[in-house]
Structure 1
Amino acid sequence: MRNVKPVSALMLGLLSGCSLIPAYHRPALPVQNAYPVAGGGAGPAAADLGWKDFFKDPALQQLISLSLANNRNFRETALNVQQAQAQYRVDRASLFPTIEGDAYQTVTHTPANLSSAGRAITSHEYSLGAQAVSWEIDLFGKLRATAKSAHETFLSDLDTALSTQISLVAQVASEYDTWLADRQSLRISQNTAAADQKSLSLVQLELNNGTVTAQDLAQAQITYDTAAASVAQYQRQVAQDMDELVLLAGAPIPPALLAQMNAVDGLDAEAKLPHVPAGLPSDLLTRRPDIRAAEHELLAANANIGAARAAFFPSISLTASGGVASNSLSSLFSGGQTSWSFQPQITIPIFTAGANIANLDIAKVEKKIQIATYEATIQSAFHDVSDALNGRETYVDQVKYEQDLVNADQRYYTLAQMRFKAGIDTYLNVLVAQNDLLSAQLNLVALQLAQRQNEITLYKALGGGWEANSTPGTQPVPATMPAAQPVAQPQTGQTPGKPTSLTGN
């Protein structure tokens, strides 16, 4: 009896097996420890700031919700998560035996000339039992390494879906602002064209009266045609912007929402976007879902090395069955009718012509590829944040000076009109001033749009947009899935790296 515990412990150790997966060490940060431009300041981190708190426009909020529910690219990504989770369950199931129940009847008829008894014989056999077929004992962790790889792939797809959501939120907001800016530019062009048309009519009358020359009329015509062409350009762009919004939404925009959008009077009516601090580059490792997805892919490649190593060692599989058998149905469950079989099998790789070594080399190279991909993703994220921070520092000044230019051009245009009416200057000065004012006004709108889009880019680059409402202190997990294809949502606050239960048809 004293040897029972050691033997039991040995058997338990054999059944639990060992792991040949290399120890994982996160690669060093391949970027500087701080951004070139300071990105501090008060305010919650972007990843903790919900997009409904970042984008205050109710129409934009509804448009984003519509897109998250219907956008086909986002829906496809969410379904990929379900597929990856199902594959993980398949691989994990290989760790356990497959038990099958069976019941059968065999009837055999032997003719008289073949029977040893000299007469025809009909025999019956009944059997009822269960069997476990070719259950592989995972002594060296091959199956567990494969399941680990599938698990990491699932988590990578989960973070990829989150990254797609963040990109979709930012893309919808950016396109909405583009639509507002183009409508504002269209209104400026229409007002300028209307004023130019009145000026053209006035110059025509003055030409008839002999107070101006034909050259003045031609110049007025040029100015009007320039403004009219600008109207046509922005009419086209506004229509194309709406087409893009419909595509992103994945469904026609409801009339009530469209009316609400049309009631917004350009970019000037939009609330200023909140300031988000940049933090440190190391923060991106947990706040950027694309970086987390790349690390999960690296962990999957690391697990594949363990599976490739295990292929060099023997594999043990067990086949067992048990039940009852009888030559008559009435005695099938009588005593002494038990039947069983047990068939262990061991397979040892002797000669594979270098296939196992090659597979291990492939796994190691794939890990190196994933390390490079992971580092490149971090560098790209650092670049995105750094560029947006540079933009935030310079757009403020550029917009201010462009506004000053618009004000100066407006004063110059007013003075040019006064001097023309007083007979001091020709109408050419008025036309030049009007062209300069139109150009400055359109440039100002374009700069205001670029400034807002830069703020949206920074919010996205810092991992913002993963959830609708702000949840300080929590780590991002996918919180929104397309409504048309139901997918269970992970619980808010779930620890990153843990498997998430997703269910769906």
Structure 2
Amino acid sequence: MNARLILATLPAMALSACNLAPKYVQPATPVPPSLPQGASYLALAAGETTADALGWRQFFTDPRLQQVIASALANNRDLRATLANVERARALYRVDRAALLPVIDASGTASRSQNSSNSNNRNFQVQAGSSAFELDLFGRMRNQSASSFQTYLATDEARKATQIALVAETASAWLTYAATADALKVAQETLLSRQQTVNVNTRREANGIGTKLDVATATTALNSAQAAVADFTTSLAQARNALDLLAGAPVTDDQLPTTLGQGDQTLAALPVGLSSEVLLRRPDVLAAEHDLRATYADIGAARAAFFPTISLTGLLGFASGGLSSLFDGGNFQKTLSGTARQRSFDGGATSSNLAAAKASRDAALARYEGAIQTAFREVADALARRGTIEDSVRAQSSLEANAATAYRLTQLRYDAGIANFLEPLDAQRTLYSARQSLVTARLTRASNMVELYRTLGGGLNETTP
């Protein structure tokens, strides 16, 4: 009997290899094979490792920044939410995978009845079996499981993308705090200088060698500096609040930077290389590809709905009128039944489900290609900024030095009575603007390195493998 049963199920087992999902072929990338090059772009060179494999502890060289990033990875709530989403997707995949196996239930019953002649009837049963187990002849359930698996993988890649973004955002916020501290220092120094100028002009006016116009003009410059100090003080507090939110916990004073300096808190260069294939390894691009692969499995499941389903129900156990004789050989029972079902009419629902699955594939393909194009543009923009930022910083440094010289000379001319008060005042304003612009340029340079690291997929590894 067992041999006949096995032989009878062999055709069904063979048919279970049928898969109606279209074969997945990775689409061609809708971007050039090489990253952009030219006058506006950084000269590209490969290195011993790739940027996406470079650990963030090697890329970010300041120990305080490393501590803040570690805190963010441990405590950030957005990252925790993505981790929970990954666990949820994994559990849902296991649910769909479990549908490929029969559910076996075991039960035991005992009953007693009494008829009109007051005789008692007892019945005891112990049985186990599976009810309505569907033979996956056309791959419907296997494709549903495959779709759930790809969704799980996409969710995990989204978690990686969130981590990369968090590392970059935390570093950018930390650098912004440092630059804001420098800007506040410049404003405070300017405020002190302008207060001294007001005091000098007030004494000159009292001694009859100055004018009230000079005092009023110097006071307006002082008021402007006071407003700038107030604004930068607020900006510094807000920058710390943003950093606390990203870190998921209060950042201590010893973890905060006191100055941006030259913006050398990161490596000065990254191994980029020429090929744009590095973009295909970005987690957001991989997530889009897994979503696309899931739609192929969805098409297979939708196609399988056109074919009949076959379900098996099996039951075996023991039944007896006496508990002591329940497991005697003569009380063993077994049943096996099968059901075939073919949908005859559903108003076009099955066809519409297939059409919807194909439309979802087309949309997922567009999103996948869009993710690659977005990644290409982000890298290209970062490289374009990197290619000219050093020239910008050098120009701003020269501007600050020349503005300081001009201010010193005009102040000497004013003290000697050769120039009027407006000359040193204008020179002081130019110097203030030049110093603030230099801080901004240095922040742009440091932030650009962080952005280039992010766009190339860096930030996922703590240390370089």
**How much has 1:13 moved relative to structure 2?**
3.8
**How much has 1:10 moved relative to structure 2?**
4.2
Q: Structure 1 residue 463 and structure 2 residue 461: aligned?
A: no
Could you tell me which residue of structure 1 aligns to residue 405 of structure 2?
411
Could you tell me which residue of structure 1 aligns to residue 363 of structure 2?
369
**How much has 1:156 moved relative to structure 2?**
0.2
Q: Which amino acid aligns with 2:415?
A: K
Q: Structure 1 residue 40 and structure 2 residue 44: aligned?
A: yes
Alignment counterpart, residue 419 of structure 2, candidates 410, 422, 425: 425
Instruction: Tell me which moved more, 215-224 or 457-466.
Output: 215-224
Other structure's SS at 1:317 match: strand
Could you tell me which residue of structure 1 aligns to residue 54 of structure 2?
49
Q: Structure 1 residue 90 and structure 2 residue 95: aligned?
A: yes
Could you tell me which residue of structure 1 aligns to residue 85 of structure 2?
80
Instruction: Tell me which moved more, 146-155 or 20-29.
Output: 20-29
Aligned partners of 2:30, 2:348: CA distance in 1, in Å? Answer: 36
Alignment counterpart, residue 67 of structure 1, candidates 67, 72, 89: 72
Contact 1:124–1:327 (8 Å) recurs in 2 = yes
Contact 1:53–1:470 (8 Å) recurs in 2 = yes
**How much has 1:15 moved relative to structure 2?**
5.9
**How much has 1:8 moved relative to structure 2?**
7.7
Query: Which ranges of structure 1 fall in alignment gaps of 5 or more residues?
Result: 112-118, 472-505
**For residues 269 and 464 of structure 1, do their structure 2 counterparts lie closer, same or farther at Cα, with a shift above 3 Å needed?**
closer
Aligned partners of 2:264, 2:312: CA distance in 1, in Å? Answer: 69
**How much has 1:428 moved relative to structure 2?**
1.2
Contact 2:103–2:130 (8 Å) recurs in 1 = yes
Aligned partners of 1:246, 1:430: CA distance in 2, in Å? Answer: 42
CA RMSD, Structure 1 to Structure 2 (Å): 1.7
Aligned partners of 1:355, 1:139: CA distance in 2, in Å? Answer: 21
Q: Which amino acid aligns with 1:276?
A: L
Q: Which amino acid aligns with 1:26?
A: Q
Alignment counterpart, residue 210 of structure 1, candidates 208, 211, 226: 208
**For residues 42 and 29 of structure 1, do their structure 2 counterparts lie closer, same or farther at Cα, with a shift above 3 Å needed?**
closer
Could you tell me which residue of structure 1 aligns to residue 340 of structure 2?
346
Contact 1:39–1:277 (8 Å) recurs in 2 = no
Q: Which amino acid aligns with 1:201?
A: N
Could you tell me which residue of structure 1 aligns to residue 133 of structure 2?
135
Contact 1:399–1:448 (8 Å) recurs in 2 = yes
Other structure's SS at 1:403 match: helix
Could you tell me which residue of structure 1 aligns to residue 124 of structure 2?
126
TM-score relative to the length of structure 1: 0.88
Aligned partners of 1:58, 1:417: CA distance in 2, in Å? Answer: 42
**Identity %, equivalent residues:** 39
Aligned partners of 1:374, 1:106: CA distance in 2, in Å? Answer: 62
Contact 1:172–1:245 (8 Å) recurs in 2 = yes
Other structure's SS at 2:319 match: strand
Other structure's SS at 2:329 match: coil
**For residues 306 and 269 of structure 1, do their structure 2 counterparts lie closer, same or farther at Cα, with a shift above 3 Å needed?**
closer
**For residues 249 and 430 of structure 1, do their structure 2 counterparts lie closer, same or farther at Cα, with a shift above 3 Å needed?**
same
Contact 2:107–2:128 (8 Å) recurs in 1 = yes
**How much has 1:101 moved relative to structure 2?**
1.0
| 1:211-251 per-position Cα deviation (integer Å, ceiling 9, x unaligned) | 12111111211221121111111001000000101111122
Q: Structure 1 residue 233 and structure 2 residue 231: aligned?
A: yes
Q: Structure 1 residue 442 and structure 2 residue 430: aligned?
A: no
Alignment counterpart, residue 279 of structure 2, candidates 281, 284, 296: 284
Other structure's SS at 1:344 match: strand
Aligned partners of 2:367, 2:292: CA distance in 1, in Å? Answer: 9
Contact 1:55–1:273 (8 Å) recurs in 2 = yes
Q: Which amino acid aligns with 2:375?
A: A
Aligned partners of 2:303, 2:378: CA distance in 1, in Å? Answer: 39
| 1:43-89 per-position Cα deviation (integer Å, ceiling 9, x unaligned) | 33211111111111111111111111111111001100000000000
Aligned partners of 2:119, 2:390: CA distance in 1, in Å? Answer: 102
Q: Matched residue pairs, number?
A: 456
Contact 1:273–1:452 (8 Å) recurs in 2 = no
| 1:302-321 per-position Cα deviation (integer Å, ceiling 9, x unaligned) | 10000000000011111101
Aligned partners of 1:272, 1:332: CA distance in 2, in Å? Answer: 78
Aligned partners of 1:351, 1:39: CA distance in 2, in Å? Answer: 64
Aligned partners of 1:330, 1:201: CA distance in 2, in Å? Answer: 112
Q: Structure 1 residue 400 and structure 2 residue 405: aligned?
A: no
Contact 1:39–1:278 (8 Å) recurs in 2 = no
Other structure's SS at 1:268 match: coil
Other structure's SS at 2:340 match: strand
**How much has 1:451 moved relative to structure 2?**
1.6
Contact 1:15–1:137 (8 Å) recurs in 2 = no
| 1:196-220 per-position Cα deviation (integer Å, ceiling 9, x unaligned) | 1011101110111111211111121
Q: Structure 1 residue 314 and structure 2 residue 308: aligned?
A: yes
Aligned partners of 1:246, 1:283: CA distance in 2, in Å? Answer: 33
TM-score relative to the length of structure 2: 0.95
Query: Which ranges of structure 2 fall in alignment gaps of 5 or more residues?
Result: none
**How much has 1:12 moved relative to structure 2?**
6.4
Could you tell me which residue of structure 2 aligns to residue 21 of structure 1?
21
Aligned partners of 2:70, 2:126: CA distance in 1, in Å? Answer: 57
